[in-house]
Amino acid sequence: MKEPTVSDMSIADEHIVVDAKSKVGDVCGKLSINPRNAVLVMKKGEITGVITAKDIFAHLFQGKHVAKLKVEKIMKSNILTFNEDEKLSVALDVMSKERPDAMVIVDSDNSFIGYFSAEDYRDATRRLEAHQLMAARLSRSKKAINKQASKESKPTELLDLLLGGNDFEDEEDETPPSTFTLG
């Protein structure tokens, strides 16, 4: 059973990508449509920062006039990058230790393909737990089947092992099936 990867999550939503030279005022217009989105800042084809509506409000609360500033002036830059085929267990472990401002997903060419949001993180922990439980159950079942198979003196079929064997397999029903017709 293959472990889920970061690209198995819903990484194509919950974000907006803007150029590093974009003005905060322009970003606010985009955030007004969905204020929960993260604004990923791209410079030279790479995500270099992130801004949220909360970050903009924090600057406004401090009395700063940010509308005409470039987003690169107020962005957070602790960005964690994962390859799309990174296993969830590894990614979640790194995320919990590093505590980045944003997690971005890239393909094999190192091109941006998605954003791993806080909601994706919560979903990923549930998905990974379910995967691990299923893998443990399958492992226990496989061990039990192999143990039972090693006890058998004659070869048995997997279905017989799973169903507990069939003691009547050599007996034939001597009573013909009853038939009836609708008349």
- Residue range 105-143, pLDDT digits in tens: 999 999 999 998 888 888 888 888 888 888 778 878 777
Q: Which domain holds residue 40?
A: 6-126
Give the number of domains in the chain: 1
pLDDT of residue 156: 54
pLDDT of residue 161: 57
Q: Which of 43, 46, 62 is nearest to 54 (CA)?
A: 62
DSSP state of 23: B
Q: Mean pLDDT score of the chain, rounded to an integer?
A: 82
Residue 144 has pLDDT above 70, yes or no: yes
pLDDT of residue 140: 80
Residue 52 has pLDDT above 90, yes or no: yes
Cα separation, 134 vs 23, whole angstroms: 48
In a domain, 142, yes or no: no
In a domain, 167, yes or no: no
In a domain, 87, yes or no: yes
Cα separation, 15 vs 116, whole angstroms: 9
In a domain, 66, yes or no: yes
Range with lowest mean pLDDT among 18-32, 54-68, 115-129, 130-144: 130-144
Mean pLDDT along residues 34-40: 93
In a domain, 136, yes or no: no
pLDDT of residue 132: 81
Q: Which of 56, 44, 51 is nearest to 19 (CA)?
A: 44
